[in-house]
Amino acid sequence: MSQSELINAPATDLVARLRKDEITPLDLLDALQARIEAVDKSVNALPTLCFDRARDHARALMQRPPAERGLLAGMPVAIKDLTYVGGVRSTSGSRIYADFVPDETDLTADRLESEGAIIYAKSNVPEFGAGANTFNDVFGPTLNPWNTALSAAGSSGGAAAALATGMAWIAHGSDVGGSLRNPASFCGIVGMRPTVGRVASTRRYSVDPTLSVEGPMARNVLDMALMFDAMLGEDSRDMLSKPRPEKSFVDAVRCEWKPKRVAYSRDLGITPVDPQVAEITRAAAMRFAEAGVIVEEAHPDFFEAHESFHVLRARDFALKLTHHLDAHRDKLKPEVIWNIEEGLKLSPRQIVRAEHQRAELARRLDAFLREYDLLLCPATIVPPFPIAERYVEECDGHRFANYVEWLAIVYAITLTGACALSLPCGFTRDNLPVGLQVVAPANGEAKLLAGAKLMEEILGLDLRPIDPRAS
């Protein structure tokens, strides 16, 4: 296969060829390096490369029999710059860590390598993952490949832009308030927030945070299921981690399960939505009827989501980053300082109230998803916005109170513990991608992925990588 054919091929096809020794991981790395050299200067998605390390790992893996090379069998994977990879510069998008090189690899990346992933790059992030727009003072902004004057969203913006432009086949991301789902929507790829515990992760400052999860990103649903399978499994170093299910999620996608009844909501009852985004996502959701699925417009009550999320997010920022505020305040962006200080001001009564609200939100959604197989809504309430705007300040006549509130349609789902993904579902009049958020109950990834695969087939969008496009 030519390098161009390799770049355009699905990850599942390439892994099948790797297992047969029809291609090698070195072939894939060569194709990636050439592609990155050709296009990354236009989007700034992968600022840290480690191809020497990757080729050393690839050669070592190739010494094993094909059956012993793991689920990924030598497939290259990009790792988000919030996650440490031993011997590779890991900045977290912060000047505090601008030159930091960790000795050890975090659990998520370690698990991927144990399944035959070849890590070749770190993807760009906003500082400490804060804010759904990928820019920082270390590497600068990541630009949207569909229009390089616009944002790729965040915080997994570098990963999403790399996938959209053929600089990755599969990529690692993480999600608190939509950090897997927002960039997937903006860049026209697929990103999934799994159930807490599906993917083991390193927990440095608090052992039981449940807002944040690690998850997979890819160009299509089947490739994402493959990536997800490689990330799964319990680990004694993460007390929340779950055992690997007996049935793979690749098999779940291929089982041709389809929902009987799904719900669509324009706004979950809690947020403004750009009319064009609402129109595109509703039209996509209604196409489920072509497969004989009943589609109704409904949603549970998410009224308390704003208050609960802002309190619990601020608490997590204070837990994780107060020591940086004390020692390096001058190196933190204003939004991070604000979030830490909001957390430090919280009273025990506020935290108790927020946790009670979260529990009630989870109960409501679980009851709702006993009546409907899936809940559908926009993954992001606006199309990609100008990169110079730090965040969305206004939508459809509503002005947001802070830099996080525009993310309510995703953080409401975060609070419930449900699993969710963003699936490309159409394009605006300016040819910008729009994502449909698909939601299933906690531990319901098999239905989530199978339902998303059915929708992907119905919509029939071209999900091959693109060359970056200037405005």
> In degrees, to the nearest 5, what angle opens at C-alpha 245 toward C-alphas 68 and 437?
110
**For range 138-144, the mean pLDDT:** 98
In the chain, the percentage of residues whose pLDDT exceeds 70 is 100
- Report in angstroms the alpha-carbon separations of 361 from 194, 250, 306, 441: 18, 30, 11, 12
User: What would the pLDDT profile of 382-405 be if each residue is shown by its tens digit?
Assistant: 999 999 999 999 999 999 999 999
> Would you mind telling me the total number of residues written for the chain in this entry?
471
User: What would the pLDDT profile of 349-381 be if each residue is shown by its tens digit?
Assistant: 999 999 999 999 999 999 999 999 999 999 999
| Cβ 62 vs Cβ 98: under 8 Å | no
User: Count of alpha carbons within 13 Å of 380, Cβ hemisphere only?
Assistant: 34
Q: First vs last Cα of the chain: how many Å apart?
A: 33
Q: Please name which of 135, 148, 18, 136 lies closest in space to residue 77, comparing C-alpha atoms.
A: 18
DSSP state of 213: E
Can you spell out the DSSP letters for 224-261? Answer: HHHHHHHH-B-BTTBTT--PPPSS-HHHHHHT----SE
Can you spell out the DSSP letters for 403-462? Answer: SSGGGHHHHHHHHHT-EEEEEEEEE-TTS-EEEEEEEE-TT-HHHHHHHHHHHHHHH---
Instruction: Name the one residue in this structure whose structure tokens are 């049935």.
Output: 247
pTM of this structure: 0.98
Gyration radius from the chain CA atoms: 20
**Which pLDDT band holds residue 268 (cuts at 50, 70, 90)?**
very high
| Cβ 35 vs Cβ 3: under 8 Å | yes
Angle at which helices 25-43 and 157-164 pack, to 10 degrees? 110
Instruction: Name the one residue in this structure whose structure tokens are 């994502």.
Output: 435
Rounded to whole angstroms, the Cα distance separating 398 from 406 reads: 10
Rounded to whole angstroms, the Cα distance separating 5 from 25 reads: 15
Residue 21 is encoded by which pair of tokens? 């020794």
Q: Please name which of 417, 424, 459, 452 lies closest in space to residue 438, comparing C-alpha atoms.
A: 452
- Report in angstroms the alpha-carbon separations of 198 from 86, 173, 220, 233: 23, 14, 20, 7
**For range 432-453, the mean pLDDT:** 98
Q: Please name which of 393, 392, 314 lies closest in space to residue 346, comparing C-alpha atoms.
A: 314
User: What would the pLDDT profile of 98-117 be if each residue is shown by its tens digit?
Assistant: 999 999 999 999 999 999 99
**For range 31-40, the mean pLDDT:** 98
**For range 29-57, the mean pLDDT:** 98
Going by their DSSP bridges, the two strands 48-49 and 394-395 should be labelled as unpaired
pLDDT value of position 208: 73
User: What would the pLDDT profile of 187-218 be if each residue is shown by its tens digit?
Assistant: 999 999 999 999 999 988 777 779 999 999 99
Instruction: Name the one residue in this structure whose structure tokens are 């290259």.
Output: 76
| Cβ 41 vs Cβ 92: under 8 Å | no
pLDDT value of position 419: 98
Domains of the chain (ranges; CATH) run 3-459 (3.90.1300.10)
User: What would the pLDDT profile of 216-258 be if each residue is shown by its tens digit?
Assistant: 999 999 999 999 999 999 999 999 999 999 999 999 999 989 9
List Cβ<8 Å contacts ≥24 apart for 400-404.
Answer: 402/310, 402/338, 403/131, 403/335, 403/338, 404/131, 404/177, 404/309, 404/310, 404/313
**For range 290-301, the mean pLDDT:** 98
Rounded to whole angstroms, the Cα distance separating 459 from 410 reads: 22
Rounded to whole angstroms, the Cα distance separating 157 from 443 reads: 26
173: pLDDT strictly greater than 90: yes
pLDDT value of position 309: 98
Can you spell out the DSSP letters for 136-200? Answer: -TTT-PPEETTEEEEE--SSSHHHHHHHHTTS-SEEEEEESSSTTHHHHHHHT-EEEE--TTSB-
User: What would the pLDDT profile of 62-94 be if each residue is shown by its tens digit?
Assistant: 999 999 999 999 999 999 999 999 999 999 999
For 375, the 3-state DSSP assignment is strand
